[in-house]
Amino acid sequence: MTHRILILGGTTEARQLAGKLAARADCLVTLSLAGRTESPVAQGVPVRTGGFGGADGLAAHLRETGIDLLIDATHPYAAQISANAAQAARVAGVPVLALRRPGWEPVEGDRWTQVDTTGDAVQALGPAPRQVFLALGRQEVAAFEAAPQHHYLIRSVDPVEPKLAVPDATYLLARGPFRETEERALLEKHRIDALVSKNSGGEATYGKIAAARALGIEVVMVRRPALPDVPSAETVEALAAIVNQFGVDHFL
Ligand code: NAP
């Protein structure tokens, strides 16, 4: 018997998990992407792209495509789709598991200012002009137009369009992972004195946090949003093990 698994993705872990589960002879895996990135990396399994139309749309999709197991492997800041996944699974009577990568914790030497939103991060930078590295998605950087006195270094996977309405911004296109040594060189080259980051967790983007610590640079850390309480694992391996150990039948 073949089991249909839908993985809500947009993260490296979702792609890795899809590869692992697709290797099982009894699983048909589809990966779902929001379609935000213009040229996403190859995912290695069948992909569907675009929103479902809220929780109801996702519930209808689960029923129509006969999904047996839904896995929410979206980014920790993608709170809407995670809420939709939990609700749609309930409505459609489909089991759901989540891959929840743990956040970073501050360690000795870190200079973190923790805030709840990007709007709060703008305030936390203060009134005096600073050299700020925005390591945020292109959707979030617009909030910094409210503080045009700073110089911004803005790194994103796709170009930020329209450009920020601030007099002094440098744009950098790059896709992680980013190593600490390279991040340190970047912070030094641009004489950065504040870094604004999400608490993404994981290794791939931790380099900038370690580099900021080494250079004594303040990190304005936007806290994670609240996510629904569904059965979850912290790593790709742990989540794949749950599916392998119990089999998809267990969740039906
Ligand atoms: P979001 O605010 O939680 O989602 C907004 C809407 O986008 C959802 O309601 C849904 O539309 C659609 N959507 C999101 N993820 C989807 C998916 N995997 N498949 C199909 N539709 C999806 O999410 P977001 O912050 O815009 O992030 C979008 C995607 O980028 C996510 O898949 C996430 O994993 C990835 N990502 C996000 C971040 C981040 O910092 N937020 C960073 C890296 C990657 P409908 O309601 O119409 O279904």
Residues 164 and 203 in one domain: yes
How close is the Cα of 234 to the center of ligand 1, in Å? 19
pLDDT recorded at residue 26 = 87
Tokens of 44: 């290695």
Q: What is the pLDDT of residues 44-89, one digit of tens each?
A: 799 999 999 999 999 999 999 999 999 999 999 999 999 999 999 9
Please tell me whether residues 156 and 215 are part of one structural domain. yes
Q: What is the pLDDT of residues 119-147, one digit of tens each?
A: 999 999 999 999 999 999 888 999 999 99
Render the burial of 134-168: b for 16+ CB within 10 Å, e for the rest: bbbbbebbebbeebeebbbbbbbbeebeeebebee
The enclosing domain of 131 has a CATH number of 3.40.50.2000
State how far the Cα of 153 lies from the Cα of 186, in Å rounded to an integer.
10
Instruction: Locate the ligand 1 atom nearest the alpha carbon of residue 54 and give its number.
Output: 46
Q: 58 lies in a domain?
A: yes
What is the reported pLDDT for 247? Answer: 67
CA of 59 to the centre of ligand 1 (A): 16
**Ligand 1: which of 13, 47, 65, 74 to mutate, most ligand atoms within 8 Å of CB?**
74
Which residue is closest in CA terms to ligand 1's atom 40?
77
* Nearest of 179, 181, 159, 180 to residue 171 by alpha carbon: 159
The answer to whether position 29 is within a domain reads: yes
> Which CATH number belongs to the domain containing residue 59 in this structure?
3.40.50.720
Same domain flag for 124 and 211: yes
Tell me what pLDDT residue 31 has.
96
Q: Is any ligand 1 atom within 6 A of the Cβ of residue 11? A: yes
Task: Tell me if 231 is assigned to some domain.
Answer: yes
Asked whether residue 67 is assigned to any structural domain, the reply reads: yes
Q: Are residues 126 and 167 in the same domain?
A: yes
Does the N-terminal peptide bond of residue 162 adopt cis geometry, omega within 30 degrees of 0? yes
| Whether the CB of 79 sits within 6 Å of ligand 1 | yes
Distance 201 CA to ligand 1 centre (A): 17
Q: Indicate whether 15 belongs to any domain.
A: yes
What pLDDT sits at residue 39? 74
**Nearest-CA residue for atom 28 of ligand 1:** 34
Phi and psi based region of residue 98 (left: phi greater than 0; alpha: psi -120 to 50; beta: remaining): beta
Establish whether residue 177 lines the binding site of ligand 1, counting it when its CB lies within 6 angstroms of any ligand atom.
no
Residues 217 and 232 in one domain: no
Kindly give the distance from the C-alpha atom of residue 168 to the centroid of ligand 1, in angstroms, as a whole number: 30
Contact 14, 7 (CB under 8 A): yes
Question: Is the CB–ligand 1 distance for residue 81 below 6 Å?
Answer: yes
pLDDT at res. 225: 95
- Asked if residue 60 is part of any domain, the answer here is yes
Centroid of chain to Cα 144? 20
pLDDT of amino acid 252: 55
CA–CA separation, 191 and 153 (whole Å): 10
Helix (H, G, I), strand (E, B) or coil at 172: strand
- Which residues have CB under 8 Å from 78's CB, separation 6+? 10, 34
Residues 137 and 159 in one domain: yes
Q: How far apart are CA 244 and CA 72, in angstroms?
A: 17
Q: Name the residue range of residue 96's domain.
A: 3-102+226-251
Are 122 and 94 in the same domain? no
Count of domains for the chain: 2
Of 114, 160, 121, nearest in space to 143 by CA: 121
9 lines ligand 1 (CB under 6 A): yes
- For ligand 1, atom 12, the nearest C-alpha belongs to 51
107 inside domain:
no
Mean pLDDT, consecutive 10-residue segments, the chain of 252 residues?
A: 92 93 91 86 87 98 97 95 98 96 96 97 98 92 97 94 96 94 98 97 94 98 96 95 76 58
Judgement on whether residues 20 and 93 belong to the same structural domain of the protein: yes
Q: How far is the CA of 23 from the centre of ligand 1 (A)?
A: 26
Contacts of residue 112, defined as CB under 8 A and 6 or more positions apart, other chains included, come to: 106, 218, 219, 220, 221
- Residues 143 and 181 occupy one common structural domain: yes
Residues 63, 41 within the same domain = yes
In this structure, are 71 and 57 located in the same domain?
yes
Same domain for 154 and 200, yes or no, is yes
**Predicted TM-score (pTM) of this structure:** 0.89
